[in-house]
Amino acid sequence: MTAATVPVSLLIEHPDLAPMLQVVAGAVGMSRRIAHTRVQKSGLAFAGYVRGVDPRRVQVIGETEMSFLESLSPAARESNLHAYFGLGPSCTLVTRGVAPLPELLRAAAETESPLIVSSVRSSETIHALHAALDRELADTMNLHGVVVDVHGLGVLLLGPSGIGKSECALFLVERGHRLVADDAVILTRLPGQQVVGAPSPLLRQHLEIRGLGILNIRDLYGATATRNEAPIDLVIELCPWREDEAYERLGIDDASYRLMGCDIPMLKVPIRPGREMSTILEVAARNQLLKRAGHHSARAFAARLEASLGLVDDTVELSKPPKAH
């Protein structure tokens, strides 16, 4: 797992940020790196207290900070800005489309520190920056597996090489579901305990089937047959069938798979000749959607069985699904 840094140039190139941002000084420093997902407002730095400034963050100058700078004498303003830019901030962003003060432009240019103007107010700018940086600076890892979107549920297929993960994905695409990634899966952990799976850029929309080679799923089945990424909602481990292995028969106790610090619901499904894997995997996804909605079929069946044996109060309304927690 790796923690990323991104260049300041990413802000200008990002599709959600580019329409609102413009570089006005220090463009030669666009390769400076941002290493924090949260911005910082630099009011105290402009008052001469620079100790708390983290140069790895995007520094934002809003209406309050700009008003304070304007209230200073030219000499004080020059001195405080010199101290601030001497810290080497990754970039400084002025909001509300305000034209930066001449001293601000000059200090940014002299230190080759990018100075950027946002056309929108501080709250909107900061919200957009946080959303972009949360994604770009998220922890990532590579994993051998296959990801398929089944009824809107991101299903990660794991198992040893040659077990049939790609073939299962192809069967599911034939049934109208969507391929996300084959073989090399790039996982990204986002805020809110969410892990997203995506293909490597080179393998996007492609699937390898032994005996057929590399297939372009988009070309074969159309644009709706692929998806660029999907949250990982269910992990299914495919394994060879073993007669001496005790597989889950009831499904009352839910297992989970630890993935990038998040617990993802997991199933272990054996493969053997004659099993219609596409149907089994599709039903697994449908059943997981039912559990999300608060209806756990196996537990509901166990409750009815206990009631029929007199082990619980048979006046309990067993026809209703249990409440979601």
List active site positions.
144, 165, 183, 249
- For residue 322, give both structure tokens: 């249990």
Report DSSP letters for 23-82, one per residue: EEE-GGGTTPEE--SS-EE-HHHHTT--TT--TTSEEEE-HHHHHHHHHS-HHHHHHHHH
- Residues 116, 20: contact at Cβ < 8 Å? no
Query: Smallest Cα–Cα separation from 45: which of 4, 91, 10, 81?
Result: 81
Residue 67 CA, chain-centre distance (Å), reads: 37
Query: Smallest Cα–Cα separation from 117: which of 5, 16, 19, 14?
Result: 19
- For residue 203, give both structure tokens: 């393998």
Helix (H) or strand (E) holding 217: helix 217-221
Query: Smallest Cα–Cα separation from 285: which of 220, 227, 213, 235?
Result: 235
